[in-house]
Amino acid sequence: MTSGGNRLKHYGTFGLGQIATQLLNVRRQRARVPGLVDVKHERLRRDEARIAGALGDAPDGTLRGRRVLIVGPGQLLREARYYAVHNQVTCLDIDVIPKGVDLEAYAHMLRNNGLGRVIKTVGRKLVGNDRYELSLWRDRLGVARLPDPRCVVGDISDGAPEPGSWDVLTSVSVFQSIPDARLAVQRCAEALRPGGVLYIGVHIWTCNSGHHDIRAFTGRDDEVPLWAHLRPSQAHLVQRSAYLNELRLRDWRAIFGEMCPGFHEFQERYDEAEFRAKMTPELRRELADYEDDELYSVDVFFCWRKP
């Protein structure tokens, strides 16, 4: 695993103030957890159906018996646990992901990912929302015990474990924080077996929340002007909470066009009508360099089947 510099910058290493803000919001948002689980489950079913369709041999839209590699699964392993109900899942992440009270894993996290990541992870567990959410996932997935996917610490830019062997590689809201996205996509393509499917979702830099100012995700989005990061007059008001490569949609299309020729693109435009209503003529002129696809698409997914 290569380390150092912005390559390994992530939410857990962007300052204790940012972490404290996130933990306070976690505590306040407990009542919203069931709704968030419902939304995430619905989106995972959507993603699974797209992947199954690309594989071409799962007519019911459900993946079964597949070897799935998930890049950047996050500490709760939501996506990984979902797919692991019927598949063999491995996770690849630059963060150590402790399971239970594993002091050795936390020591490894401290060495690899820093004190901020440890504080955030322990803090989330102490707040209790994680236990509550996982209980909801057990009910939603109809299992008495959630699957326990294998987790590997590593950087996809250094290559996937067991390249050339995976049926499915998926990643959501990770690649916008990878400095050399072209190399990372190349490594993903190399990871797949012939006929395997790649499915990568990117939180687009040019969407309203593309700046990753934590206020946009903690109920304080009204404190950040619309598309502030794209407007020279407002950009100084943005407080980023993660490293971002700032790639535009045209850049992603060029990367996938080179590495995954024949890919399919899916745009998710959450709350588009609301944002169009807020787009005044003056604001649209200020954002004249950006197409509607860039401004209103929030997550863009790229799907490709390896020949």
Contact 62, 48 (CB under 8 A): yes
Handedness of CA 188, 255, 42, 210 (dihedral sign): positive
Distance in angstroms (rounded) separating the CA atoms of residues 185 and 285:
34
Closest CA to 99 of 136, 148, 142: 148
Helix (H) or strand (E) holding 152: strand 150-153
Task: Count CB neighbours of 40 within 10 A.
Answer: 18
Domain span at residue 147? 5-305
- Go through 142-172 and write b for each residue having 16 or more CB atoms within 10 A of its CB, e for each that does not: eeeebbebebebbbbbebbeeeeebbbbbbb
The whole-number pLDDT of residue 58 equals 81
Contact 46, 132 (CB under 8 A): no
Task: Count CB neighbours of 198 within 10 A.
Answer: 26
Q: Is residue 196 classed as helix, strand or coil in its secondary structure? A: strand
- State the Rg of the chain over Cα: 19
Closest CA to 150 of 208, 83, 232: 83
What the block records as the tokens of 45 is 């079913």
All residues at 6 or more sequence positions from 107 whose CB lies less than 8 Å from its CB, including other chains: none
Helix axes 115-127, 16-28, angle to 10 degrees: 10
pLDDT tens sequence for the chain (307 residues): 333 334 444 444 445 566 556 656 666 677 788 999 999 999 999 999 999 999 998 889 999 999 999 999 998 899 999 999 999 999 999 988 777 666 666 566 666 666 666 666 666 666 667 888 999 999 999 999 999 999 999 999 999 999 999 999 999 999 999 999 999 999 999 999 999 999 999 999 999 999 999 888 878 889 999 999 999 999 999 999 889 999 999 999 999 999 999 999 999 999 999 999 999 999 999 999 999 999 999 999 999 999 9
Say how many domains are in the chain: 1
The partner residues of 305 in beta bridges, in order of sequence, read 197
Say which CATH number the domain at 163 has: 3.40.50.150
Q: Is residue 243 classed as helix, strand or coil in its secondary structure? A: coil
Pairing label, strands 264-268, 88-93: unpaired
Q: Amino acid letter at 35?
A: G
Q: Is residue 185 classed as helix, strand or coil in its secondary structure? A: helix
The count of residues in the chain is 307
